[in-house]
């Protein structure tokens, strides 16, 4: 039987500087979604990459005394390093400067042109280089410092006048509104969808889609001097990654349309308005869903280089460990909402949820098996009501996690899993296996088996969030085989008689480097 497919993408990042925590957050979350689907039996294509053209890149390179090519080569490599460090399991990393992408963007342009949706005129209006976005006069205001800025994003805008090709976006308002009606899951979460609908209901203006004042972009076909507006180029990465323009390829036929575009809340308009309009114009199928996550703030402050509070994701991973960092962001911040991080909040999650609740439970139960059962998982005897109740709760997690992940509610899956971890701790304390050791050895064996079985289910389900630590936990439970690690294994039971390796801590407590005290 062929596996169902799942094509998931992240935004492609601007490599005009080093990656920040927001970039890391989006990749970690998308990675968890991709891993979940793979473990759940899907054939996944997970695409990420860097968005390397445009005026911002051109200007940053000039400031740094580099060519745009040197700038993007240097920085794109750092984004890849971040993905490697954070265990982001992408299948393809697209760079918009690659030839495969140029071919794809020029083809979508030709199709939009053929559809009669592209015309030449003069552009005059406000442009934000930082956002690479055009703004209507009413979307900007002049601040006390005399600088005109975008009201939505706070970035400075500059007056721009040049000959430009335009896309007839105004012709698509009705079709877009019909899309939001007919495909109610197209935009998530719901608050974002409402924003988009009111924006489109307010009427759409045609979009300037080429520039002539610099040349760092994909050339417009048969129009010397024009390079494409960076967002046409950027959005098209998603079909390039699926093999476009080779529509006859197995890759394209298998994966396009995308199932999920994961993006941040600041770029919803590009993905939920411009992108479907371009695809409609080019006669190509539309993605199934665009999900916008919130912004991550450092102790409530918006991160920005000018404020100087960008915390390097590499530093965070080194300070706390990759898995605790991944867990923190996905457990702490409801996916779709804004969230904060701070040293104290990360340490609190590490020590309470990971080291204490899950780590100690594993350590205590597995040590008892090592000491009292010769390191062999015991066979369970008849199950008591408490055993049945706990096992039923653990068995229910698969469906709960699937529902949560399918709605991108990653935090809810984790909440459900940690509820069962807490229940298991209560069970373990109430059953007192250390006392049973002397009074009813067989009952102790059953309690240890039940605990190990719940740990196995938890270990399987946290693999998308903490791939390495979950792997360690599953190793300790004797679950090394790949088929033992797929979600399908949740329908089986752990086998008594399994020989277990010597127990070792999975989630160490965080110790402040200054004090240097032992964990
Ligand atoms: O927008 N918290 O690139 P980008 C969470 N190249 N997410 C954040 C964030 C924060 N503080 N800051 C940014 C671009 N992001 C375009 C995308 S896609 C065809 C082209 C998110 O490097 C942001 O919302 O500015 C976006 O999804 C991603 O990081 C890349 O941002």
3-class secondary-structure state, position 291? strand
The residue to mutate among 217, 264, 287, 293, having the most atoms of ligand 1 within 8 angstroms of its beta carbon, is 264
Q: How remote is the CA of residue 187 from the centroid of ligand 1, in Å?
A: 17
Q: Best of 104, 150, 267, 292 to mutate for ligand 1, by most ligand atoms within 8 A of CB? A: 267
Give me the long-range contacts of 426-433 (CB less than 8 A, separation at least 24): 427/386, 427/390, 427/451, 428/361, 428/364, 428/365, 430/386, 431/386, 433/365, 433/368
The residue whose CB lies within 8 Å of the most ligand 1 atoms, and thus the one to mutate among 9, 11, 236, is 11
Protein residue whose Cα sits closest to atom 18 of ligand 1 = 11
Residue with CA nearest ligand 1 atom 3: 13
Ligand 1 atom closest to the CA of 262, numbered from 1: 27
Q: What number of H helices and E strands is found in the chain?
A: 22, 17
Residues 6+ away with beta carbon under 8 Å from 278: 108, 112, 167, 232, 235, 236
Nearest residue (by CA) to ligand 1, atom 15, is 22
pLDDT in single tens digits along all 519 residues of the chain: 789 999 999 999 999 999 999 999 999 999 999 999 999 999 999 999 999 999 999 999 999 999 999 999 999 999 999 999 999 999 999 999 999 999 999 999 999 999 999 999 999 999 999 998 999 999 999 999 999 999 999 999 999 999 999 999 999 999 999 999 999 999 999 999 999 999 999 999 999 999 999 999 999 999 999 999 999 999 999 999 999 999 999 999 999 999 999 999 999 999 999 999 999 999 999 999 999 999 998 876 655 555 555 588 999 999 999 999 999 999 999 999 999 998 899 999 999 999 999 999 999 999 999 999 999 999 999 999 999 999 999 999 999 999 999 999 999 999 999 999 999 999 999 999 999 999 999 999 999 999 999 999 999 999 999 999 999 999 999 999 999 999 999 999 999 999 999 999 999 999 887 644 443
Nearest-CA residue for ligand 1 atom 7 is: 22
Distance CA 106, CA 230 (A): 13
Rounded mean pLDDT of the chain?
A: 95
Say what the pTM is: 0.96
- The rounded Å distance from CA 46 to ligand 1 centre is 17
Closest approach atom of ligand 1 to CA 234 = 19
Distance 408 CA to ligand 1 centre (A): 18
Burial class (CB in 10 A: 0-12, 13-18, 19+), 2: exposed
Distance between Cα 11 and ligand 1 center (Å)? 6
Ligand 1 atom closest to the CA of 26, numbered from 1:
7
- Is this complex's ipTM strictly greater than 0.85? yes
Other Cβ atoms less than 10 A from the Cβ of 367: the count is 12
Contact between 208 and 229 under an 8 Å Cβ cutoff? The reply is: yes
Smallest CA separation from ligand 1 atom 14, residue:
13
- Burial (0-12, 13-18, 19+ Cβ within 10 Å), 12: buried
The pocket around ligand 1, CB under 6 angstroms, is made up of: 11-14, 22-23, 25-26, 51, 234-235, 237, 263-264, 266-267, 295-296, 303
């Amino acid at each position: 039987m062929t596996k169902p497919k799942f094509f998931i993408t992240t935004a492609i990042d601007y490599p005009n500087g080093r990656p920040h925590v927001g970039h890391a957050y989006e990749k970690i979350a998308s990675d968890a979604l991709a891993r979940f689907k793979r473990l759940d039996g899907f054939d996944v294509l997970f695409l990420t990459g860097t968005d390397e053209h445009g005026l911002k890149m051109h200007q940053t390179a000039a400031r740094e005394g580099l060519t745009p090519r040197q700038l993007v080569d240097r920085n794109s490599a750092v984004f890849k390093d971040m993905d490697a460090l954070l265990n982001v399991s992408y299948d393809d990393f697209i760079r918009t400067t690659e030839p495969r992408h140029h071919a794809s963007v020029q083809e979508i342009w030709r199709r939009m042109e053929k559809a009669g949706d592209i015309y030449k005129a003069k552009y005059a209006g406000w442009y934000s280089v930082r956002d690479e976005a055009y703004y209507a006069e009413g979307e900007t205001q002049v601040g006390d410092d005399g600088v005109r800025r975008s009201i939505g994003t706070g970035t400075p805008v500059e007056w721009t006048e040049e000959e430009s090709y335009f896309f007839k976006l105004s012709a698509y308002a009705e079709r877009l509104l019909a899309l939001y009606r007919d495909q109610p899951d197209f935009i998530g979460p719901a608050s974002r969808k409402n924003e988009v609908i009111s924006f489109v209901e307010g009427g759409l203006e045609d979009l300037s889609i080429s520039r002539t004042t610099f040349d760092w972009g994909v050339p417009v076909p048969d129009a010397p001097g024009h390079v494409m507006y960076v967002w046409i180029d950027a959005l098209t990465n998603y079909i390039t990654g699926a093999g476009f323009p080779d529509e006859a390829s197995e890759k394209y036929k298998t994966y396009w349309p995308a199932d999920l575009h994961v993006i941040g809340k600041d770029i919803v308009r590009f993905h939920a308005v411009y992108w479907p309009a371009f695809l409609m114009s080019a006669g190509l199928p539309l993605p199934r869903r665009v999900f916008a996550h919130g912004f991550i703030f450092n102790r409530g402050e918006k991160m920005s280089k000018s404020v100087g509070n960008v915390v390097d994701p590499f530093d965070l991973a080194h300070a706390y460990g990759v898995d605790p960092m991944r867990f923190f962001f996905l457990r702490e911040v409801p996916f779709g909402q804004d969230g904060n991080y701070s040293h104290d909040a990360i340490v609190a999650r590490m020590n309470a949820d990971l080291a204490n609740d899950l780590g100690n439970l594993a350590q205590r139960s597995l040590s008892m098996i090592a000491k009292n059962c010769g390191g062999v998982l015991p066979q369970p005897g008849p199950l008591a009501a408490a055993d049945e109740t706990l096992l039923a709760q653990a068995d229910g997690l698969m469906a709960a996690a699937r529902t949560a992940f399918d709605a991108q509610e990653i935090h809810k899956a984790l909440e459900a899993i940690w509820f069962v971890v807490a229940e298991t701790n209560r069970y373990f304390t109430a059953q007192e296996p250390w006392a049973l050791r002397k009074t009813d050895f067989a009952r102790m064996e059953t309690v240890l088996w039940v605990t190990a079985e719940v740990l196995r289910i938890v270990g399987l389900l946290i693999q998308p969030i903490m791939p390495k630590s979950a792997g360690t936990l599953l190793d300790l439970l004797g679950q090394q085989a790949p088929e033992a690690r797929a979600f399908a294994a949740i329908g089986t039971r752990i086998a008594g008689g399994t020989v277990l390796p010597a127990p070792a801590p999975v989630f160490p407590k965080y110790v402040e480097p200054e004090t240097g005290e032992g964990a």
